[in-house]
Structure 1
Amino acid sequence: MPFGEKRNPPLKKILIVRFSSIGDIVLTTPVLRCLKLQLGAELHFLTKKAYRELLVANPHLDRIWTIERRVSEVLPALRKERFDLVVDLHRNLRSLQLKWHLRRPSVSFQKLNWEKWLMVRFKIDRLPDRHIVDRYLDAVRTYGVQYDGQGLDHFIPPEQEVDLAAALGLHEPFTAFAIGAAHATKRLPADKILAVCRRLPGPVVLLGGPGEQAVGRSVAEQLGDRVHDTCGRLSLQQSASVVR
């Protein structure tokens, strides 16, 4: 190493923070894999309790921490861990509060809120042509972590595997239609879901959580036996096994 050049200390224990939601947590998985395989560090992940099952089978994680709403629920225990690094992949007020209380070295990614606001409000595109996974990984590149090109990970426990075709008696290819989303502005209205289902060939299986039960039931009733409503009946992992 050249004289005067600083070297990052070895990272033995790392906390990754992403509180929500389903897609965003899945998008963090290349960071988990690259950190574990390239640095060999002990990896902890902090998220909301509702999303824990997305990560329970991930072999790259050593421990998962969850909160209902506030970081104060786990702060005393997290302080005792004495993490070498906190990787903030959410970058909101909650994660800032966490980092302030932990007082450990931390890195975060470029959230580009201003650029996103310009795009949504005025259709002014200042967003870089760069995938969110690459932006997540930028946060840890200073530690020598590089993207391995292996894409996203999602691990499904064997007990969560579902043979839905057999359970529903489907003997031909079917379309799995995920109609749910965390925010109302990201959900298709019921009339649009109906229109899409009418245009799809063959059987259609509707996937969603408890919040989509009423819509799923209504669509299935209007379109008859060709549409199978599973909203609120499958876990996240079971739904993932259906679309895999």
Structure 2
Amino acid sequence: MNIGNSLKRGSFIPRDHRRILVLAIRGIGDMVLITPLLRLLKQRACAEYLAVMADGVTAEVFDHNPHIDRLFVIDRSRSRQLPWISGLREWASLVSDLRHEQFDTAIDVFSGPRSASLAFLCGADDRYGEDFRTSGRGFLYNYPTTIVRDGRHIVEQKLDLVRPLVRDIDDDVELEIVTTTSERDHANATLSQLGSAKPRRVGLFPGGKDNFMWPAERFASVGDWLIKTYNAEVMLFGGPRDISVCKRVSEKMASTPIDLSGKTTLRELIALLAEVDLVISNVTGPMHIAVALKKPKVVALYGAADTVQYAPWGASSIMLTKGSPGDAYWRKVDYHRDFEFLLNITVDDVCDRVQPLMEALTVSETHA
């Protein structure tokens, strides 16, 4: 994706053989969207050693990433449940482990209170983060960066943090998710066991946050249309929290889909997505994973607020929204208003976008 002159700002700060810690503590989609930073840091910032810290299952996004030398995994949910003295010991052990690595550079990608503290305590001389001095933690960075958010994608925003370290940044900045041969073999074995033998596979992600979910009955209508029109294998994906909505979609369909909601790990889901031809999804972390894989075409259903900052980042994707760029914003989102934009997307709107993609698949199979 071409991101133009917005990547040309900033001055280069040279330093050889850096030992870099990237603190990335947020959701699955955010982890996917910062993967371009890791390649740039390893290849352009003289990162002799690159470590990443992530939270819980989100860390699995980085598994097998060739640019990462070590992955620190914390578990914020578990830590919150610990008695305070146990939590303090765990925190001290983590800080000790970080200091043992002798990092000279820390990059706090999302600049939260916990990660800002760790950036300061890890012992790195050079500490980069967003300039949040008005929030009382910007002083923890000696290289605070002012980031312009309005009208810019989150990928562009976060590249501003590493710009001083990587010289020029290519116009084409790609997401990167890696799957192994064994993971793909396991995915294919799973599909065989499920009896998935139809020529085209379509994955539906009807789950997500409450105000980001297109109605289940509309997903069901699209699923039935795909089966009737293209003899597609329709598969429902999602995590444990999405089981109920996937069940509603399945119950409302005239045909029976393959429901894998809550039945896969994140790594298993990633490998399965690499074997489908099309994904239709609400705004979710796995939607961004599908875009990063590049193989499935992706039709993503959006309200309005996230259509700039969290738009799909990749040529294999289509963002379907009734909003306009002028409706996109990130401060104090009116979720009710945003949901109304999402509800304005009809079943016919989705089918009209999907039809040429499915027909292109048919043509490619004919000429294969």
Residue 78 of structure 1 pairs with residue 98 of structure 2: yes
Residue 163 of structure 2 aligns with an amino acid whose one-letter code is R
- TM-score, normalising length: structure 1: 0.79
Determine the structure 2 residue equivalent to 1:173: 200
**What is the Cα-based RMSD across aligned positions, in Å?**
2.8
Per-residue CA deviations over 1:42-89 (Å, capped at 9, x if unaligned) read: 100000121222112101000000111158262221122221111111
Q: Do the aligned residues in 1 keep the contact of 2:22 with 2:109 (CA within 8 Å)?
A: yes
Residue 175 of structure 2 aligns with an amino acid whose one-letter code is L
**Correspondent of 1:98 among 103, 112, 118:** 118
Determine the structure 2 residue equivalent to 1:114: none
Q: Do the aligned residues in 2 keep the contact of 1:165 with 1:171 (CA within 8 Å)?
A: no
Structure 2 counterparts to residues 1-244 of structure 1, below 5 A:
8-41=14-47, 42-69=49-76, 72=91, 74-104=94-124, 105-109=126-130, 127-148=149-170, 149-161=172-184, 162-163=187-188, 165-167=191-193, 168-181=195-208, 183-201=209-227, 202-244=232-274
The answer to which of 100-109 and 150-159 deviates more is 100-109
Give me the whole-angstrom Cα distance separating, in 2, the residues matched to 1:36 and 1:74: 24
Secondary structure of the structure 1 residue equivalent to 2:253: helix
Give me the whole-angstrom Cα distance separating, in 1, the residues matched to 2:131 and 2:205: 29
Give me the whole-angstrom Cα distance separating, in 2, the residues matched to 1:60 and 1:129: 30
Q: Do the aligned residues in 1 keep the contact of 2:220 with 2:249 (CA within 8 Å)?
A: yes
| Shift in CA distance, 64/7, structure 1 to aligned 2, threshold 3 Å | closer
Q: Do the aligned residues in 2 keep the contact of 1:34 with 1:146 (CA within 8 Å)?
A: no
Secondary structure of the structure 1 residue equivalent to 2:128: strand
Residue 99 of structure 1, CA deviation: 2.3
Give me the whole-angstrom Cα distance separating, in 2, the residues matched to 1:57 and 1:215: 32
- TM-score, normalising length: structure 2: 0.55
Q: Do the aligned residues in 1 keep the contact of 2:22 with 2:52 (CA within 8 Å)?
A: yes
Secondary structure of the structure 2 residue equivalent to 1:74: helix
Residue 224 of structure 1, CA deviation: 4.9
The answer to which of 218-227 and 10-19 deviates more is 218-227
Residue 35 of structure 1, CA deviation: 0.9
The answer to which of 207-216 and 64-73 deviates more is 64-73
Residue 175 of structure 1 aligns with an amino acid whose one-letter code is V
Residue 82 of structure 1 aligns with an amino acid whose one-letter code is Q
Unpaired segments ≥5 residues, structure 2: 1-11, 80-89, 133-147, 275-368
Q: Do the aligned residues in 2 keep the contact of 1:109 with 1:138 (CA within 8 Å)?
A: no
Residue 196 of structure 1, CA deviation: 4.2
| Shift in CA distance, 7/25, structure 1 to aligned 2, threshold 3 Å | closer
Between the two proteins, the alignment pairs up a number of residues equal to 225
Residue 38 of structure 1, CA deviation: 1.7
